[in-house]
Chains A and B, each alone.
Chain A
């Protein structure tokens, strides 16, 4: 799939702060890419740089193989939906949508047709004469979306599109965005700080921290095979122990000897091993000391409907275990249990 947007070594500083640190990234024609990271990680700066609203200090952005350096926002074939929606308060909904088209010189029937088409796409054609302040949050978002789509951009940039919506609307909008992108067949780049949002919507996720891209991949790959602690911590929870390699397939750490199926560095190297909470099984206490298992006391049980989260105290550590409710015997706080996990479930992270 050809890259519609190619970012090469993009660097941006704000005073002493490095917002983007030599970021390189390809965005394919037809993908839903999420830029995921904590606030201040540079994800919004990257999005704004693609739109041309930030001037990079180094590196370049190519859209359809055309270098965009030195091109103003109004010259770029991408459009951005802003977090605040940024609707023009002194214009009606229809005029908001028409604004971008008028800049392209569209007039008369061609203009009204395109406006109607864009508003119909987000089911807002009935409210064209309203002013933005007469709309609800969800409606404002639809207008902002229609305003971008009317321009038929090569890629749509969305800055925290769901952040201002309540939980119910968020799920619906998420599904709608996914359907919309499939219908339009253009690239969507969405900035979010919410991992669930990123995993749910995107076909590919780029995890960012402190101006760098830590890892990119399909949501499942990032969840199953995080490369480092930051990615592991950002996608759900992981039980992580620091340790040293003791053999071709074993690591010694606070959880005893952990057998690992993944390749390990040479003996004596410092690594971290990590296990997802749902990969761990609990059973009654056993005395034999094997590998990939620990025995401890349940310190806390957090009930969550379909699943419950158990915290098993083991020395200094609190092991997090997620268990399907109604599968097997229920454990209570204070129970002594043995937790175990298969070698295949263990991930090796940089220390």
Chain B
């Protein structure tokens, strides 16, 4: 390929546009000053203070629990949807099902959040003993949009998988149940792992939908960041943001590794 001289420059500019703000947050999280924009010296004090902030720690815990639960739920539902799309051939209203599965990815978060809020409020008034909004509603909300991602990943994985492998298992005497759990599922495993990690990250980063459906006792980490910034930026939040960026990057890295076609049937 012919090299265009300013292409490298454009790439550098693009990457800078994406990552300089993040880098700034990380650098300033080590700032000794109480003023966010004035650099006075290196310090890890804000990280210490962060760990002592009970509100933030509680929110971190909430986020973690919501992330794990919603990602797990999303993987179960999303894998089932992806499997249907990839394996059930042309069933009636297949395109409708496919579109409906993917739709949450493109519907604006505000709309998703609002509609889920209306659903939960309606459910609360319709069913008398249902617990109020809280952790469970955030988990459901997060799973409902991240399952689309899982479905896409699983579907792509199955589409790239040799159908003859499942035929062979069946031919060798395995019942459909065994074929699925001994052959299909293990071969889908990298996609499931990647899907779980992505769903977890999506949940960890979401503020809009969580704000709509959260109850008074269930504040997630991004919600704490958002609300505390309205009261004035504390360097503590920089430290928190730096940790979140690091965690997200780590998980996305894992997802990319898991999603690589190490186990695919082809060479």
Residue positions of A touching B, CB distance < 8 A: 48, 51-53, 72-74, 79-80, 82-84, 86-90, 99-100, 103-104, 133, 147-148, 151
12 A-B interface contacts by CB (under 8 A):
A53-B170, A73-B167, A73-B170, A74-B171, A84-B162, A84-B265, A87-B265, A88-B183, A89-B165, A89-B263, A99-B174, A103-B172
Determine whether B168 belongs to the interface, using a CB cutoff of 8 Å to chain A: yes
- A90–B168 touching, CB < 8 Å: no
Main secondary structure of the interface of B (DSSP, over half): helix
With A and B bound together, what is the CA distance between A53 and B267 in angstroms? 25
A-B contact count (CB 8 A): 72
The answer to whether B170 and A82 have CB atoms under 8 Å apart is no
Contact in complex: A151, B186 (CB < 8 Å):
no
Q: Using Cβ atoms and an 8 Å threshold, which residues of chain B touch A84?
A: 162, 164, 265
A51 touches B265 (CB 8 A): no
Known A86-B164, A133-B267; further 18 A-B contacts with Cβ < 8 A: A51-B167, A51-B171, A72-B175, A74-B171, A74-B174, A84-B162, A84-B164, A86-B162, A86-B265, A87-B165, A87-B265, A88-B169, A89-B263, A99-B174, A100-B173, A103-B173, A103-B175, A147-B168
In angstroms, how far is the closest chain B Cβ from the Cβ of A71? 12
Which residues of the partner chain A approach B175 to less than 8 Å between Cβ atoms? 72, 74, 103
Specify the chain A residue showing the minimal Cβ separation from B190.
A90
Chain A residues near B148 (CB, 8 Å)?
Answer: none
Instruction: Decide yes or no whether B178 CB sits under 8 A from chain A.
Output: yes
* Pair B173/A86 contact, Cβ less than 8 Å: no
Question: In whole angstroms, how far apart are the Cα atoms of A104 and B173 in the complex?
Answer: 7
Contact A86–B165 (Cβ < 8 Å):
yes
CA distance A104 to B162 in the complex (A): 25
Which residue of the partner chain B has the closest CB to A135? B267
Q: Does B264 contact A (CB under 8 A)?
A: yes
**Residues from chain A with Cβ under 8 Å of B187 in the complex:** 89-90
- What's the Cα separation between A82 and B167 when bound, in Å? 9
| 7 nearest CB pairs, A to B | A100-B172, A103-B173, A86-B168, A86-B164, A73-B170, A82-B164, A86-B165
Q: Smallest Cβ distance from B41 to chain A, in angstroms?
A: 53
1/0 per position for B150-184, CB-CB distance to A under 8 A? 00000000000010110111111111001000110
CA gap between A72 and B167 in the complex, in Å: 11
A90–B263 contact, CB under 8 A? yes
Q: How far is it, in angstroms, between the C-alpha of A133 and the C-alpha of B266 when the chains are bound?
A: 8
Contact A90 B186 (CB under 8 A): yes
CB closest chain-B residue, reference A97 = B172
List the A side residues contacting B178 at CB < 8 Å.
103
A148–B171 CA distance with the chains assembled, in angstroms: 9
Q: Are B174 and A86 in contact (CB under 8 A)?
A: no
Bound-state CA distance A48–B175 (Å) is 17
Q: Could you tell me the distance in whole angstroms from the C-beta of A344 to the nearest C-beta in chain B? A: 47
- In the complex, the answer to whether A72 meets B170 with C-beta atoms within 8 Å is yes
**Which of A74, A82, A83, A148 has the most B CB atoms < 10 Å from its CB?**
A74
- Take A84-B265, A89-B265, A90-B263 as given contacts and tell me if A74 and B173 are in contact as well, using a CB distance cutoff of 8 Å: yes
Question: Chain A contacts of B174 at CB under 8 A?
Answer: 74, 99-100, 103
Name, among B173, B182, B183, B189, the residue most crowded by chain A CB atoms within 10 Å (CB to CB). Answer: B173
Q: Which listed residue (A52, A72, A82, A133) contacts B168, Cβ 8 A?
A: A82
A74 surroundings in chain B (CB, below 8 A): 170-175
Say how far B171's CB is from chain A's closest CB, in angstroms: 5
Cα-based distance from A140 to B172 in the complex (angstroms): 17
Most buried by A among B164, B187, B264: B164
Q: Are B164 and A151 in contact (CB under 8 A)?
A: no
Nearest A residue to B174 via CB reads A103
Is B170 a contact of A86 with CB atoms below 8 Å? no
Q: Which residue of A lies closest to B165 (CB)?
A: A86
Hey, which chain A residues are within 8 Å of B171, CB to CB? Answer: 51-53, 73-74, 79-80
Give the distance in Å from the alpha carbon of A286 to the alpha carbon of B173 in the complex: 69
**Closest Cβ of chain B: how far from A225's Cβ, in Å?**
36
- B173 cross-chain contacts in A, Cβ below 8 A: 74, 100, 103-104, 151
**Chain A residues, CB < 8 A from B182:** 99
Quick one: which of B120-137 are within 8 Å of A by CB? none
Beta-carbon contact of B169 and A89 below 8 Å: no
CA A87 to CA B162, docked complex, whole Å: 10
Cβ-closest chain B residue relative to A147:
B172
- The answer for the CA separation of A224 and B180 in the assembled complex, in Å, is 50
Q: Please, which residue of chain A has its CB at the minimum distance from the CB of B167?
A: A53
Asked if A83 meets B164 with Cβ closer than 8 Å, knowing A74-B170, A74-B174, A103-B172, the reply is yes
* Known contacts A84-B265, A86-B162, A90-B186; A79 and B167 CB within 8 A of each other: no
* Chain A residues, Cβ within 8 Å of B168: 80, 82, 86-88, 147
